[in-house]
Amino acid sequence: MSTALVTGATAGIGLSFAHQLAERGHDVVLVARDRVRLENLSDELRAKYKVGTEILVADLSDRADTGQVSERLSDAARPVDLLVNNAGYSLKKRFLDNDITEEEALFDVLCRAVFVLSHAAARAMRERGHGAIVNVSSVASFITSGTYSAEKSFVTVFTEGLSGELAGSGVTATALCPGFTHTEFHDRAGINMSGIPEFMWLDAHRLVRDCLDDVAKGKVVSVPGGQYKAIVALLRLVPRGLVRSRARTVHRPKDGSKGSR
């Protein structure tokens, strides 16, 4: 039986990954900050899917905590076959209106944790000759909407580069780039999304299912939903100056609250 490790596993897209991977028979290592939610999810997955579970309480803005997750991924005696780097959140204020420590913490979660954990997982998987890494990015990585877009752009490009480096090794890397998705993400951030039409919203369960299908095919960039496939294709073609001029920040500056993905 294979083992998957999911960061940000207790809510939203990460929660969908945890359930679907367990349903497919994977043992799961669940990583998040909230011990109570982790324990409840662990109990639920064991009871419902009869799989093994393990919890790691970790704040990925903390380097020591990230190091502990990295060590788990490197453990040859307990191999992890699939890594899902999903942990993330968003700040509402613009870059210059935020305290730099808030921005540094966001960068550590969205970028530094992704490449530290990908490095540990990819080396261990390459040694064994098989495995897969999913880095949850965003359609925002193709536009210019503040530091969230910049950091997600890093995740997408980093994953593309990692995929090339792993070519022929039996290990794959996939960047998942969803658009607006029905999760706790915006509610927990206190962001009013009422102006977004319903047809632009994705279902977390379906996008995770489609992503796992893309991973099985070895696809490098997974964009769920026909509407977002069309948007990304267009964004790849139009001049960057036009992208910059038309980009609109969804997270309007009001306060400094944040929401987890």
| Enzyme catalytic residues | 148
CA distance 55 to 41: 9
Closest CA to 87 of 58, 63, 46, 64: 58
**First and final C-alpha spacing in the chain:** 28
CA distance 106 to 112: 9
Q: Specify the pairing of strand 82-85 against strand 131-136.
A: parallel
In one-letter notation, the amino acid at residue 126 is R
Structure tokens at 62: 């903390």
**DSSP label at 78?**
S
Structure tokens at 171: 């290990």
